[in-house]
Amino acid sequence: MANCKKQCGPGYKSPLDAFINGKRETILYTICIQPNTLTKKKSDYLATIDVNPNSPTYSQVIFRTNFENVGDELHHFGWNTCSSCYDDCTKSRNKVILPSLGSDRIYVLDVTNEKAPKLHKTIEPSEVHALNVSTLHTTHCLPNGYVMISTMGDAEGNGKGDFLLIDAEEGVVKETWTKGNTAKFGYDFWYQPYWDVLVSSEWGTPKDFKIGFNPDHINDIGIYNIYNWLFIYLTHICNFKYVYKIEKYGRSLNFYSWSERTLLQTIDLGTDGIAPLEIRFLHNPKASEGFVGCAVNSNVFRFFRTDDGTWDSEKVISVPKKTVKDSNGLKEISGMITDILISLDDKYLYFSNWLHGDVRQYDITNTSKPKLVGQIFLGGLLLNDELLTIVKDSELKKQPEPVYIKERRLFGSPQMLQLSLDGKRLYVTTSLFTPWDKQFYPESVKHGSTLVKLDVDTINGGLSLDQDFLIDFGKEPDGPIMAHETRYPGGDCTSDIWLTED
């Protein structure tokens, strides 16, 4: 690390420095996915959006960085360097790293011109598969200047949780991160060097979830099928049948030694914790706790370090299922928590219920007892003009109404969230993953995604929809597009990890 007289590296000194002194975002970068690659041979792209209220192009897409290939399914992305390199004046946040969930291709963009990112380097899938990993997800910059990307599968699409290290400047794959045993599944991750820990979450088996959501995959059971003499003997002589669970969806948190790069502990969250997706430590780098949102049964777990140095968890939020009636009779609908984030002052936790259609805000001043202080519906399956009726609901007194901004209906449901550094503006997009979008919200795919802005009451809690801000991705030049993750050039609440608290 360079010995600088004063900070001139990327990011901010601490989370509170970013919260108090951070610049207001003027540009958003949003992933745009082409959902109809069979009929439209068009590529995904990164949209640059003007969010400066004083600009003549406010609330408009002002640039599109198109890519070379079709069917990448861009998903999450991150920086070449961030606040973890705050003291290194040789580092600059001048590139974004965009891995593909579908193709396993990795794009490196030069963002020296913030308004017009351009392609710097492409890492082909063969370079990724050569290390027997696939299905790329979360991107985090590391203090040593490398970039780490979590993986969810092996080269054949079976479940495998590992991490890929790349050199963003050179645009090359270096190695996989884990030494020794890998996790059964992968998805998101966060690291906390102060406690020598990295924690990761789990989605499922890529070759299964990539074709859509099948509820039968949640608790699949199979017969062990090893054709060796011992198995045959036990089966036919002793009348023994060995039954085992073919897990297609994860339900565990995996804790690694940050310094040794080894898997130390796995916590099974049980049926309440099936598909633990987005995972967040508190931003305070000395905090030894965080939260994870579990999609299938809509629960949030708190994880925390114990006195003996191991890790434990507890369920702290549970979203009740809704009993509804449609033409096929009664059924239950889970909220399906698909994204969570924490404000930089560690006061509020936000998450989206992708099936119910609401965004929630919780006061986590007491981390063991989060308090709901804000909620807003922006779509979902529960709307009163859908072909179902809610017959049992412990929370709502009536079904939500469809939402319109500038005479444009918000189809689909709120999904990806991004919060401003000062915590006052929450940006929301609607796409989860193309096969699932088509399965649950075909009208959203037909009309395209939207990006909206929620104004946040940071004192008492509360969310309100800004009726003057709308990005309608149904009106894009190549037709309706699905919008996923959003980031800011100066860093945001989910991309930066800090090493010091002051």
Instruction: Give the pLDDT mean for 191-217.
Output: 95
pLDDT for 220 equals: 57
Q: Could you tell me if 164 and 131 are in contact, meaning their C-beta atoms sit under 8 angstroms apart?
A: yes
pLDDT of residue 243 exceeding 50 = no
pLDDT category of residue 7 using cuts at 50, 70 and 90: low
pLDDT for 3 equals: 47
pLDDT for 386 equals: 80
pLDDT, tens digit, 9 for 90 and up, residues 90-103: 888 899 999 999 99
**C-alpha span between 231 and 384 (Å, rounded):** 56
Q: Could you tell me if 103 and 71 are in contact, meaning their C-beta atoms sit under 8 angstroms apart?
A: yes
pLDDT, tens digit, 9 for 90 and up, residues 105-125: 999 999 999 999 999 999 999
Beta-carbon count within 10 A of 60 CB: 12
pLDDT for 349 equals: 98
pLDDT for 228 equals: 36
pLDDT for 245 equals: 55
C-alpha distances out from residue 355 to 16, 59, 130, Å: 34, 27, 37
Residue showing tokens 């073919």: 246
pLDDT, tens digit, 9 for 90 and up, residues 288-329: 999 999 999 999 999 999 999 999 999 999 999 999 998 889
Q: Bridge partners of 337? A: 353
pLDDT for 118 equals: 97
pLDDT for 1 equals: 42
Query: What one-letter code names the amino acid at 331?
Result: K
Q: pTM for this structure?
A: 0.93
Classify the phi-psi angles of 265: left when phi > 0, otherwise alpha if psi is within -120 to 50, otherwise beta: beta
Instruction: Give the pLDDT mean for 482-488.
Output: 97
pLDDT of residue 186 exceeding 70 = yes
**Low-confidence winner among 56-65, 81-90, 216-225 (lowest mean pLDDT):** 216-225
pLDDT for 239 equals: 46
Mean of the per-residue pLDDT values of the chain: 92
pLDDT for 451 equals: 98
pLDDT of residue 242 exceeding 80 = no
Instruction: Give the pLDDT mean for 136-157.
Output: 96
Task: Copy the structure tokens of residue 104.
Answer: 């396993």
Q: Bridge partners of 482? A: 33
pLDDT of residue 229 exceeding 70 = no
pLDDT for 224 equals: 34
pLDDT for 236 equals: 42
pLDDT of residue 4 exceeding 80 = no
pLDDT category of residue 218 using cuts at 50, 70 and 90: confident
pLDDT category of residue 65 using cuts at 50, 70 and 90: very high
Q: Which helix (H) or strand (E) holds 383?
A: none
pLDDT of residue 23 exceeding 70 = yes
pLDDT of residue 231 exceeding 70 = no
pLDDT of residue 413 exceeding 70 = yes
Which long-range contacts does 106-114 make (Cβ < 8 Å, 24+ apart)? 106/136, 106/149, 106/166, 107/67, 107/74, 108/80, 108/168, 108/171, 109/46, 109/65, 111/29, 111/489, 114/27, 114/48, 114/489
Instruction: Give the pLDDT mean for 378-407.
Output: 93
